[in-house]
Structure 1
Amino acid sequence: MVLDAWILGAPLKVQRREDHPYQETDLATLGRHELVLSRVRSPLGEPGCQLFLDGRAIYAPGDPAPGRPWFDLCRELGYEPSRHWDWDPALILFQQVVPALAAGWHEPPIPLDDQGVPEGVVCLATLRQAFAAAVAGLRQRNGGPVAGKVAETFEWLPLRAVVFHDEAQLPLDFEGLGGPCGRTSLWLGIHRDRAVVLGGEVLPERQGRHWLPGLPGGDGPVGPEAFLAAAGLDPVPPKGFEAAFRHALDHLCGSLEGLLDAYRRTYPVGIPWQHDAWDRLRGRTIVDVRAGQPTVLVLDDGTELALENAPQVSREPGGI
């Protein structure tokens, strides 16, 4: 394991390995939690693995994602999508934890797809692959040099993180199925300190999400010049670039709509993944006020917000 790339804020320690004729098992601790990895057969008879966290099953062959206890553990140990981009709980489990646990296993190895995860798992790597395919499709569509410039821009801005800003239960439709998730951010860029964001929000009057380009921290919307600069290209757009950019943005984001909803449903509800000021206050109600220095507002979710009570300097008009 490459320790420099380790995401979770606790060490993984292998305690015991057992090599039975038909089932290999590893026992490890992750901080104060216990992990067990066992070799099993998939429903199709292929080699696979089963994972247990603190005695509860969190993954078996055919599951689209790990179980909720693993997401809770990742949140507990410091994982945040916008800070640890290129990672999500499924990738941490299958690209970091499982290889470390199965390092001493014999053949046959655990079968993984070209994204390094078991078949059928929906994760950030799935979204990145779909976004890259949509960007490649921009090159294949009919267009001139301006459209080619737009395609080049997105080729230098790969999808790095997907952040869901909604914490509540997904709304249900008349058939009892979850509707589209709320506000979503797609983080693009080569370097995290030069990232740009595509922010999508479900609007009642629109089919699908309404996407706007922006910057991390909720700043936006911004023009396509910010995307050119983030891609390391000339930030002065050629004539007609903005219209072609908007058209390409609708194509790229629209191609991800269904997959984004499927990915969101792998995330358990009620886990707060995003903690900027906008998300903490949006849609909340003040239920109590505690006077003091500073005054504290208590919101309906238990969040406490301190108000700055610094005195304002008054200036009287003066003169001779």
Structure 2
Amino acid sequence: MSLDAWVLGAPLKVLRREDHPYHETTLATLGRHELGLCRRQTTAAQPGCEIFLDGRSIFLPGAPAPDRAWFDLCRELGYEPVHHWDWDPALILFHQVVPALAADWHEPPLELDALGLPVGVLSLAGLRQTFAEAVADLRRQSLGPVGAKVAETFEWLPLRAVVFHDDAQLPLDFEGIGPTGRASLWLGIHRERAVVLEGPAPSRYPARHWVPEGLGERPKAEAFLRAAGLDPEPPKGFEPVFEAALHHLCHQLEGPLDAYRRTYPVGIPWHRDPRERLLGRTIVDVRPGEPTLLVLDDGTEVALESASLAPVWEHGGI
């Protein structure tokens, strides 16, 4: 298994495989937890398997997402959407863990769709595809150089991450499904210069209004052009076309986003403040430079001020 994109703070170790045709099973450990993958017959005679975590079933074919225990494990092992923005718990499970567990199986463990996911599973990959298709529609419908410039802007700002700002203390919504929190959409090629749209998460808000965050005093169009790596000076007539396109893209995403939100368990704080990100972590590497970076066991990089590395006696200590 390739670990170049592995985002969890513990290795996956396969312990035992039984790969007799149609009776394949695999046991593995992930940190302090045990994983199991077992073939199961499906009514449609399609490939199917059951996934276990610590002896408890967390996925059967047809489910839209794995059980909450898998989300809790990803959170425990350091997964954060803002830092690992090409991944979500479903993609980690079905694009990394399951292929490693079933590497030597005679038959595929699950029937997969075009995104490489079990049929019916909702994930970040589906949202990204929906957003990309809406941007492609912009390109096809663009009229004149201004419309083409707007389409080019969003082509360089693909959807990369979705962050749900949950608070376990907030009340459930009127359907009893989840807290009335917020969702953030991260758009960009590079995380360091992404643009972030924030809006209310639940579907109880039919006229959802997405607001760019962290722009400071910069005009919205200029901020998006800079994030896309384009000339920040918008051409004449760019702003109204851009606003209409942004509204259209977010509107196209709302239905799939609501369905995706309902696969996420209530009360897991995916967006943590700096203190929570550092608490209980181990330093695994130090990268000297300006500034010096500490690399933690979940992949987080922490910059240190140069003064903090000076010997104590240079500051009048004993």
TM-score by length of 2: 0.80
Q: Is the 8 A contact 1:181 1:261 kept in 2?
A: no
Task: Pick one of 237, 245, 248 that aligns with 2:242.
Answer: 245
Q: Is the 8 A contact 1:203 1:210 kept in 2?
A: no
User: Per-residue CA shift, 1:99-132, capped at 9, x if unaligned?
Assistant: 1111011134532112111110000001000000
- After superposition, the Cα gap between the structure-2 partners of 1:206 and 1:77, relative to the gap in structure 1 and judged at 3 Å, is closer
Structure 2: runs of 5+ lacking an equivalent = 277-318
1:144 aligns with 2:141: no
Query: CA RMSD for the aligned pairs?
Result: 2.6
- The Cα of 1:205 is off from its aligned counterpart by 11
Identity %: 68
Structure 1 residue runs of 4 or more that deviate by more than 2 Å after TM superposition: 19-22, 107-111, 140-144, 166-173, 176-182, 201-208, 218-222
Q: How many Å separate the matches in 2 of 1:220 and 1:73?
A: 40
Residues 180/233 of structure 1: CA separation in 2 closer, same or farther (3 Å cut)? farther
In 1, Cα distance between the equivalents of 2:250 and 2:79? 25
CA distance in 2, matches of 1:255, 1:74: 29
- Give the deviation of 1:144 after TM superposition: 2.4
Task: Give the aligned partner of residue 19 of structure 1.
Answer: 19
Residue equivalent to 1:254: 251
**2:185 maps to what in 1?**
186
- CA deviations 1:275-299 (Å, max 9, x no partner) are 238x9xxxxxxxxxxxxxxxxxxxx
Q: 1:133 to 1:11 in 2, by over 3 A?
A: same
Task: Provide closer, same or farther for how the CA distance between residues 139 and 37 of structure 1 changes in structure 2, counting only shifts above 3 A.
Answer: same
**Alignment: residue pair count:** 275
Residue of structure 2 in register with 1:274 after alignment = 271
Contact 1:214 1:222 (C-alpha < 8 Å) held by counterparts: no
Distance, in Å, in 2 between the alignment partners of 1:205 and 1:44 is 36
Is residue 178–residue 266 contact of structure 2 (8 Å, CA) maintained in 1? no
The alignment status of 1:264 with 2:281, answered yes or no, reads no
Structure 1: unaligned runs, 5 residues or longer: 280-320
Deviations 1:65-113 (A, max 9, x none): 0000000000000000001001000000000000111101113453211
Where 1:65 maps in the other structure, the secondary structure is coil
Partner of 2:299: none
Equivalent in the alignment of 2:313: none
SS in 1 for 2:234: coil
Paired position in structure 2 for 1:212? 211
Work out whether residues 26 and 101 of structure 1, in 8 Å CA contact, stay in contact via their aligned partners in 2.
yes
**For residues 212 and 150 of structure 1, what CA distance do their matches in structure 2 show?**
18
Q: Is the 8 Å Cα contact of residues 146 and 244 (structure 1) preserved in structure 2? A: yes
1:142-190 Cα offsets, whole Å, 9 max, x none, are: 53221111111001111100001123477444xx464895311110111
| Partner Cα distance (2:209, 2:57) in 1 | 38
| Cα distance between partner residues in 2 of 1:108 and 1:101 | 11
Change in CA separation of 1:208 and 1:202 when aligned onto 2, cut-off 3 Å = farther
